[in-house]
Chain A
């Protein structure tokens, strides 16, 4: 048998060599700038396979190292660690050590010294954007007590014929699918009472669908001395309603009190966790473990996130534990309320938390979104008299409250996004020789996870910009009578349904003359352009403005503030800049609280449905004949209570119809407020509906299309495209804010 093992092991080492080659090729591609998902996945898989085999053959040092390397790759793959040049460099270093580990394992020699590389890998994990400050949730705990570099590589130990070592690193061997989070409160109840156990077991439909066989579980319990006391078939439906793939029975068994609870729980290891499983001491009233049916139907895989987030739960008092301990619904159903309120409420309570898989929250959010849509469809179908009934508004208020609660479950303190700032500033300070003190405020402000995940990059660029261009070198500061140390303030606050994230410095302020000169040199503005201070400041974010000076080695790409602006705009936000020469500059990102749900107006363009975000809608107008006029050969305006607003025909914008032959009085003009062009009228064919939609990204499989912010799936399964108001009004804008002023005057 050992010959066979040797043979297999030899094959394993061949695979290692192949895997190393794949990993090296992939990392080189990444170093050259191709960090496509495929390349990253290839590297991950290579390291993953090495890890898998090394565990099986008892190469502990190799296992430990490859495991920690893999953790980092997993985060890179998940997008939590951007594959910047620095990161790739660390990974190339790790690759070298991995090769040495493989060689050491093969030759049974001492493993290489790997502490410094492991340190660098840990730093990457510690600094990753999302979830960095979360408890050891998704990121696997480092395996095994660190192996001493001097220790000889684990030889195949004795034991069973294959010499499998239950390697310490190897984590749990069996998984009781998803049991861990619930098992928390056991201890108190368990040890006290030696009475028999009452075990209730009601397999879910999923348990059966996943190939689970209830009789096996019952047999196992019987082996432990258990006895079936009762089978409850009361939920068994009529034969014609019977779903042959569902289970309608709940077994109640008694198991001797001498049996350890863990032994009983083990019988349920492979039972789908949405089954009813209850293990209680017969005399004890409260269930020790109770797993209530969770959610049906898995979420689409695309939505499954990689992290687990921690959710605050109210204390589980004497009452039986609630299935999903959600915070009490906020009274005010405004989207802003729950996040803010919750943070206070959470801090009042003893910090009691459960860990919830993020995918479950997303699933819940999707379902609630669906519920909202169905609710509004139902309301539409009711007769006016029925709509007057008090139940309907109550139902929709409850639905709204559920939605808010779910959103608040996803809200996380923005601290996570701020956590990498201190280190970044230290590095920047060391790199530039500037002295910088960090001042952080509002880090407990809660924002939807989707937002937190996406502001990391813009934040990084803003801070880098503040140190590179804002803060002066110490000598210069002293010469100006300022303290040698500059200050960078990073703050967050909630204002209505928006989050303001500000990075400000007390440096030299924007040198407007220089910015303007550079913009002229780059051809961004005409040499004779008359620009206000504000407009000059905005040039910093203009595409193409960034120069070699602003190329960031944080991202490793030549990007500057224009990327900040486009990232923030892609999130439905905007960037404001204010600067006082000699005193400092402030960049403010103004972001929506969530990116997952959008309140929208469903409009029709050339017969097709589009969604206009309600946040930007001011009013809608059915124009009278003559109210919409031609201003220039290519532009129109609408006269509204004495002032003129530019009008865009959306069918023209998207090339959907013939436009100008269409009579405005047959259309509707929706007045929207935009950041770039003020009030603008958008001409649509009709308004269909107003509803909340769940935002789906278009660029997951498509490149972004100017003017479209995404798509949503409507109740009937069809797709409606979501309009990006800012892009529409700022693109193709023959009438800018300024020449319009002239026209109106």
Chain B
């Protein structure tokens, strides 16, 4: 079965873009539009990988990652941050929240795919 990825981003176009480019690479995609929905979807679909944006209303990416990591069953689930931000500070925050890696938007689909395979074989 191909890997199931949950993408969380408040921008519909970004969600669609991710879905289109990742399904083309053989991944299955679920998506959510903010941290709160992301957390709900996470529990419903139990994906192999979570890709989340940082700046989102209601619950941001940092909070989402922390919340996900706090759940025992997602302790080992890789989490990638996909954000236009790239400051070391933000990365440090993401890391301490429990993120596995960071990819800066805009993304190159092939590289994103490679990055995904690197954390989630």
Report A's interface with B, CB cutoff 8 A. 1, 4-5, 7-9, 11-12, 15, 44-45, 48-49, 51-53, 55-56, 58, 63, 67, 70, 138, 140, 160-162, 164-167, 170-175, 177-178, 180-181, 206, 208-213, 216, 220, 245, 269-270, 272-273, 298-299, 301, 304-308, 355, 357-360
* Residues of A with C-beta under 8 A to B88: 138, 178, 180-181, 308, 355, 357
* Residues of A with C-beta under 8 A to B119: 211-213, 216, 270
Q: List 22 A-B contacts (CB under 8 A).
A: A7-B16, A15-B13, A45-B10, A49-B11, A52-B84, A53-B14, A55-B106, A58-B106, A70-B84, A138-B88, A164-B107, A173-B104, A175-B101, A175-B104, A210-B98, A298-B97, A306-B87, A307-B89, A308-B88, A355-B88, A358-B89, A359-B93
- Number of B interface residues, CB 8 Å? 52
B76: nearest residue on chain A (CB-CB)? Answer: A211
- Asked if B115 contacts A56 (CB within 8 A), the reply is no
- Asked if A52 contacts B89 (CB within 8 A), the reply is no
- Asked if A174 contacts B111 (CB within 8 A), the reply is yes
Report B's interface with A, CB cutoff 8 A. 10-14, 16-17, 20-21, 24, 53, 55-57, 62, 69, 75-79, 83-89, 91-93, 95-111, 115, 118-119, 121
A58, B98: Cα distance in complex, Å: 31
- Asked if A306 contacts B108 (CB within 8 A), the reply is no
- Asked if A171 contacts B79 (CB within 8 A), the reply is no
Given contacts A175-B102, A211-B76, contact A56 B107 (CB under 8 A): yes
A52, B13: Cα distance in complex, Å: 10
* Residues of B with C-beta under 8 A to A299: 96
B112: nearest residue on chain A (CB-CB)? Answer: A173
* Residues of B with C-beta under 8 A to A167: 106
B76 to chain A, nearest CB (A): 6
- Asked if B118 contacts A173 (CB within 8 A), the reply is no
* Residues of B with C-beta under 8 A to A1: 20
* Residues of A with C-beta under 8 A to B78: 211-213
* Residues of B with C-beta under 8 A to A48: 55, 84-85
B82: nearest residue on chain A (CB-CB)? Answer: A52
B54 to chain A, nearest CB (A): 9
A166, B111: Cα distance in complex, Å: 11
A360 to chain B, nearest CB (A): 7
* Residues of B with C-beta under 8 A to A213: 76, 78, 119, 121
Q: A177 contacts which of B10, B20, B101 (Cβ < 8 Å)?
A: B101
Q: B87 contacts which of A67, A140, A161, A206 (Cβ < 8 Å)?
A: A140
* Residues of A with C-beta under 8 A to B98: 209-211
B80: nearest residue on chain A (CB-CB)? Answer: A270
Q: A301 contacts which of B62, B105, B115, B118 (Cβ < 8 Å)?
A: B62
Closest 5 CB pairs of A and B: A298-B96, A55-B106, A12-B13, A270-B101, A175-B102
- Asked if A174 contacts B75 (CB within 8 A), the reply is no
* Residues of B with C-beta under 8 A to A11: 12-13, 16
* Residues of A with C-beta under 8 A to B121: 213, 216
- Asked if B89 contacts A138 (CB within 8 A), the reply is yes
A44, B84: Cα distance in complex, Å: 12
- Asked if A15 contacts B100 (CB within 8 A), the reply is no
* Residues of B with C-beta under 8 A to A63: 106
Q: A45 contacts which of B12, B55, B77, B89 (Cβ < 8 Å)?
A: B55
* Residues of A with C-beta under 8 A to B12: 11, 15
- Asked if B93 contacts A304 (CB within 8 A), the reply is yes
Given contacts A269-B118, A298-B97, contact A52 B105 (CB under 8 A): yes
- Asked if A301 contacts B93 (CB within 8 A), the reply is yes
A374, B17: Cα distance in complex, Å: 52
B74: nearest residue on chain A (CB-CB)? Answer: A211
Q: B86 contacts which of A4, A140, A165 (Cβ < 8 Å)?
A: A140
A351, B92: Cα distance in complex, Å: 26
A180, B89: Cα distance in complex, Å: 12
A457, B35: Cα distance in complex, Å: 36
- Asked if B95 contacts A210 (CB within 8 A), the reply is yes
- Asked if A173 contacts B110 (CB within 8 A), the reply is no
Q: B77 contacts which of A44, A172, A211, A301 (Cβ < 8 Å)?
A: A211
* Residues of B with C-beta under 8 A to A178: 88, 91-92, 95
- Asked if B10 contacts A49 (CB within 8 A), the reply is yes
- Asked if B89 contacts A216 (CB within 8 A), the reply is no
- Asked if B69 contacts A209 (CB within 8 A), the reply is yes
- Asked if A174 contacts B115 (CB within 8 A), the reply is yes
Given contacts A178-B91, A216-B118, A304-B89, contact A53 B11 (CB under 8 A): yes
- Asked if B17 contacts A56 (CB within 8 A), the reply is yes
A15-B11, A174-B115, A304-B92 provided; 18 other pairs, C-beta below 8 A?
A49-B55, A52-B106, A55-B106, A67-B84, A138-B87, A161-B24, A164-B109, A166-B108, A174-B102, A175-B86, A175-B104, A208-B76, A211-B119, A216-B121, A272-B95, A273-B95, A306-B87, A308-B89
